Amino acid sequence: MQNTTDFPTKTLKYDPIIYSLETPKYHLLQFDANNRFAGWVFNFGKLKINSINVYNDEQFVGNFIVDGLREDVGGHVPSIAAAKTCGFAFDIKISKTLKKVLFEIVFDDASKEPFFEFDVANAFSQRVYFKKLRQEITAIHKPAGELVYLTQGHYHVEEYQNSIIPGVLNMRQYLEHSGVDLNNIHSLLDFGCGSGRYLVGWHLIAPHIALHGCDLNTTLMSWAQNNLPNQIKCLKNNLIPPLSYPDNQFELIYFISVFTHLSLNLQKIWIQELKRILKVGGYILLTLHGEFYVRNCFWQESDKIEEFLSSGFIKNASDDEGANLCGTYHTPAFVEELFQEFQLVGYFPNGRINQHRTLFQIAQSQDVYVFQYNGNE
Ligand SMILES: C[S@@+](CC[C@H](N)C(=O)[O-])C[C@H]1O[C@@H](n2cnc3c(N)ncnc32)[C@H](O)[C@@H]1O
């Protein structure tokens, strides 16, 4: 990957290509038909992304301009003018025999780099299973836009629902790449589960797992308790431990974009509580804001960026702990120290796996970590 940013390069470990493919989700792909490939992408650096080349396997399909108005994205990225017009949308015919759609970025100096691959063969081989999941998910209640906003920052109920299956499949990839055998996971906790979207995903793809969720938000928890399938058990908790679960209950605890909103002090307190309810040999998966987020949020405060790079951690000025406006940021070295009683078994910077960009991420461009708890050695 080329270094396309003008930031100091000594610490440039994050992927400056920030993106989201919004459609088609794998389980909604249509075969022998045109599919709309739509999303957004910008470079968090000097060069602007002009267009995307698309190849069906090795065959060039077309060059598509990246210039769609995306104020929703640009509003979060004030330092990059091109983020306001980073949208793309085009149709591609997907045949049953196609293996992959390959995407390539074209910058405004005409240089190119691979973007991502869309795995058509896998979606085709799973089409019957995906159809079943699609049918099952439509029978499950979905939260209203106002509730979706509380966890996702947008009001699009359909997008929320369509993100569940590919999101949980993305989480499963991180676990599998960390050596977690899902057959050995019998009980999991989604800590900070919001309206329980990923619990719904696990309910559909791994019904053998006893599913628990908790969150401090009363509105979200009461909706989850009243609307999610009965097999999903949700509890409201407080900002500070304890949780009401017994010791050694879970083989997996995950928290998606939760420590990103808690002070360091509370993170340390919660790690001890989560350790208490985790079985020895069990796993923790979490997502955190890494360097890209710091450089974006503090783009006019170089002293904050320096503080982050030297101390490994920074928090923004909000004291509203647990709320989305309260933001915290971690370097990988700091995270390993924070979870020193655990063994790091998986690290996926910006959600990538082995340097490959993943689609339909559990938490937009956040770093994903998987730890195993081996007891007090
Ligand atoms: C950005 S949302 C993510 C929700 C969910 N994990 C998802 O990915 O859809 C963060 C969630 O963490 C919850 N949260 C923050 N601090 C918490 C705490 N101390 N205990 C439980 N939930 C917490 C918030 O109420 C909110 O629902």
Exposure of 118 in the CB half-sphere (CA atoms within 13 A): 28
User: Distance, CA 227 to ligand 1 centroid (Å)?
Assistant: 18
Longest dimension (CA), the chain: 59
Atom 11 of ligand 1, nearest CA residue: 192
Distance set, CA 217 to CA 65, 238, 289 (Å): 42, 9, 21
For position 13, what pLDDT does the model report? 73
User: Distance, CA 28 to ligand 1 centroid (Å)?
Assistant: 28
- Domains of the chain (ranges; CATH) run 9-125 (2.60.40), 127-372 (3.40.50.150)
For position 5, what pLDDT does the model report? 33
Whole-number mean pLDDT of the chain?
A: 94
For position 355, what pLDDT does the model report? 87
pLDDT range class, residue 377, cuts 50, 70, 90: low
For position 79, what pLDDT does the model report? 93
| Ligand 1 contact, 189 CB (< 6 A) | no
pLDDT range class, residue 135, cuts 50, 70, 90: very high
Quote the CA–CA distance of 102 and 29 in Å, as a whole number.
16
Tell me: the pLDDT tens digits for 313-326? 999 999 899 999 99
Contact indicator for 168, 96 with CB cutoff of 8 Å? no
Atom 21 of ligand 1, nearest CA residue: 215
Whole-model pTM: value is: 0.95
Neighbouring C-beta atoms of residue 153, cutoff 10 Å: 11
For position 251, what pLDDT does the model report? 98
Going by the DSSP 8-state scheme, the letter that residue 101 receives in this structure is: E
Quote the CA–CA distance of 362 and 347 in Å, as a whole number.
14
Average pLDDT over residues 178-199: 97
Atom 16 of ligand 1, nearest CA residue: 322
pLDDT range class, residue 94, cuts 50, 70, 90: very high
Q: Which of 215, 243, 326, 364 for a ligand 1 pocket mutation test, highest count of atoms within 8 Å of Cβ? A: 215
Kindly tell me if the per-residue pLDDT of 89 is higher than 70. yes
Kindly tell me if the per-residue pLDDT of 74 is higher than 70. yes
Kindly tell me if the per-residue pLDDT of 15 is higher than 70. yes
Tell me: the pLDDT tens digits for 305-360? 999 999 999 999 998 999 999 999 999 999 999 999 999 999 999 999 998 999 99
Kindly tell me if the per-residue pLDDT of 3 is higher than 60. no
b/e per residue 262-286 (b: at least 16 CB within 10 A): bbeebbebbbebbbebbbeebbbbb
Contact indicator for 47, 14 with CB cutoff of 8 Å? no
pLDDT range class, residue 58, cuts 50, 70, 90: confident
Reading the block at residue 359, the tokens are 């689609």
Tell me: the pLDDT tens digits for 250-289? 999 999 999 999 999 999 999 999 999 999 999 999 999 9
